[in-house]
Chains A and B, each alone.
Chain A
Amino acid sequence: MIELREVTKVYKGQTVPAVDRLSLKIPEGETCVFVGPSGCGKSTTLRMINRMIEPTSGTILINNKDIRESDPDRLRMGIGYVIQQIGLLPHRTVAENIAIVPRLYGWPKEKIRKRVDELLELIGLDPETTRDKYPSQLSGGQMQRVGVARAMAVDPPIMLMDEPFGAVDPIARNYLQDEFLRLQREMRKTICFVTHDINEAIKMGDRIAIFNKGRLVQYGTPHEILTRPANEFVSDFIGYDRVVKKLGLYRVADLAGPAGCVAREGELPEIGRLMREKESDVAFLVDAHGRPCGFLTTEDIGGMGDEISPQSLMQKALGRRGAFAQREMVLRDALSLMLEYDTEYLGVLNGGDLAGVITLSAIRKHSCRKEGE
């Protein structure tokens, strides 16, 4: 656990504090994202945690121990540190770069070699081809991964990351974020993560600390921050689309209901009766292999439905072949799909199988309910 108590930093020659009476607790195993406009003191705060900067006043505790009691170099060896510019040593190979902290700890060569390969695998780089390359031979995304691997070399329980994915292109960034979330789900490290991008903060953080001008303006889970912004600054910072952003926090599986009515092509003529029997507003059409290929709603069959030809019903259903969402899809993307297909329903898939249905009204209710909570 990391705890900051009334931490203040005034840089030499400045009168305005860069960080002003900041108090914050980061529970073990959680990712806390520091977010705010540029110059608001995020990096300064981060760098005080590993004593790259000494606070002017206040106390920082790691696992209830004042960090001033530790030797700074020793302290830093035990904390992973990743910066935006990465800072790989250009004259050292990838393997040597990753081996820096293990070498400081005096690990035997064989153990270091094994660990380097293990880490390269973990971050999705081929040890055989990567380990002896120099940083100048890597792409930006690869360098960033090596930077992360290097910080994790001795498996430190705490990681400090200062805009770690800020310098890579958006596609690579998205990918790195997903990869990192996947790793973190298993590693459960205590992570301080700095970004100026609120979307990244919402995506990566178990908790978000919003900074403004050296002050902590709000500290809470992404859900709390999006639901109850503490003040105008926070709501401005989040933007007008906060409800949509919040939909990014939940997954289709959270709101999915049972599929209700499932029919084959041959059952189309009596589809209206089937739906009434099952008391379902939507009927899924499955092909000969039982795979979903579209759906119909009560609107399509016009209440009675029986007069409409099975062919046109079939066409309508197949037109929604793409209106299906995987269980893991975030609600925001599901909503977007609904708008795209002009439908209030989406089929929910678990892999290739039909797993249920999600409705616009469920999403709407979810947003309102959470709003009022």
Chain B
Amino acid sequence: MNYIRFIQDNIPLILEYTKAHFSLVLWAVLISLVLWVPVGVLITRSEKWANRVLGIANTIFCIPSLSLFAVMVTIPFLGLGRRSALVALVLYAMMPLVRNVYQGVKVVDKSVIEAARGMGMNYWRILWEIQLPLATPVIFAGFRITVVMTTGIAAIATYIGERNLGRLISEGLTRFNIEMIVDGALLIAFIAIALDTMLGALEKKIVPRGLRVHRGH
């Protein structure tokens, strides 16, 4: 098999690319979480702001990734390289993360909040002990989409100087090397699936037990 031979012949290079790919995804996802989860929570307090922020997120999400990366490069402080790649990926993650956090917190049963407030729980307690735990399934769904999506889009960052698995595809295209293209695509897909599976397992641990049990069990 030529596909396997290609990998065997290029192990050091592929490892380097994989490492770079991973670290870009990891940083992008981390920054996105730190940034977008609080934003998602914050906008639950004002319908007006929620509409604005979600509007912006949707708009960004509609920009083709190649052009978003290209636009980043033109911004002085960012330039060619990792910073631009990170900013673009974090902006993409805004839509799935902010929207899911917002919806997850928003759809928590009003009567539960009403009762909690009536018992004297303050805003933060209600957020921390009720809204966020109850929102975990929805938030986690958004988180998994973000990770898979970021893994895929990170490949495009190769065009602005990232040396990652995307490079296999872009170089494969210029040299018309089928093995290179297919292997690059498969590796990226494999990483995405692996990450998603791991998160799925983690999700089972994090979602509160009471949300999983049902009458009769």
Residues of A with Cβ closer than 8 Å to B?
50, 52, 73-78, 81, 83, 85-93, 100-101, 104, 134-138, 147, 150-151, 160
Contacts and interface: CB of A to CB of B under 8 A. Distances in A.
B9 interface: no
Given A93-B210, A136-B215, A87 B122 contact: no
B211 A83 contact: no
A78 B215 CA distance: 33
Given A85-B111, A91-B134, A135-B210, 14 more contacts: A73-B120, A73-B122, A78-B120, A81-B115, A85-B109, A85-B115, A87-B114, A90-B109, A90-B112, A91-B210, A93-B210, A136-B215, A138-B215, A147-B115
Contacts of B111: 83, 85-87
Contacts of B208: 91
A135 B215 CA distance: 9
A160 B113 CA distance: 16
A135 B111 CA distance: 14
B121 A83 contact: no
B117 to A, nearest CB: 6
A134 B118 contact: no
Nearest to B115: A87
A92 B117 contact: no
B62 interface: no
Interface of B: 109, 111-122, 129-130, 133-134, 208-211, 213-217
Pick the 5 closest A-B CB pairs, nearest first.
A87-B115, A77-B120, A85-B111, A81-B118, A91-B208
B120 A137 contact: no
A137 B112 contact: no
Nearest to B130: A89
A154 B116 CA distance: 15
B121 A100 contact: yes
A369 B141 CA distance: 70
A92 B213 CA distance: 11
B120 A75 contact: yes
A76 B115 contact: no
B105 to A, nearest CB: 14
Nearest to A84: B111
Contacts of B216: 137
Contact of B210 (A75, A78, A136, A147): A136
A116 to B, nearest CB: 15
A83 B118 contact: yes
Contacts of A73: 120-122
B119 A100 contact: yes
B215 A137 contact: yes
* Most chain B beta-carbon contacts within 10 A, residue among A78, A86, A136, A138: A136
Contacts of B119: 76-77, 81, 100-101, 104, 150-151
A311 to B, nearest CB: 59
B142 to A, nearest CB: 19
A52 B121 contact: no
23 contacts: A73-B120, A74-B120, A76-B117, A81-B115, A81-B119, A83-B111, A83-B118, A85-B111, A85-B115, A87-B114, A89-B130, A89-B210, A91-B130, A93-B210, A101-B119, A104-B120, A104-B121, A136-B213, A137-B215, A137-B216, A137-B217, A138-B215, A150-B119
Nearest to A138: B215
A101 B174 CA distance: 67
Nearest to A46: B118
Contact of B109 (A87, A92, A100): A87
Given A91-B210, A137-B215, A76 B112 contact: no
B116 to A, nearest CB: 7
Given A89-B130, A91-B134, A137-B217, A76 B118 contact: yes
Nearest to B216: A137
A150 B116 CA distance: 11
Given A87-B114, A87-B115, A90-B134, A134 B209 contact: yes
Contacts of A101: 119-120
B33 to A, nearest CB: 22
B123 to A, nearest CB: 9
A116 B117 CA distance: 21
Contacts of A78: 120
Contacts of B133: 91
Contacts of A135: 210
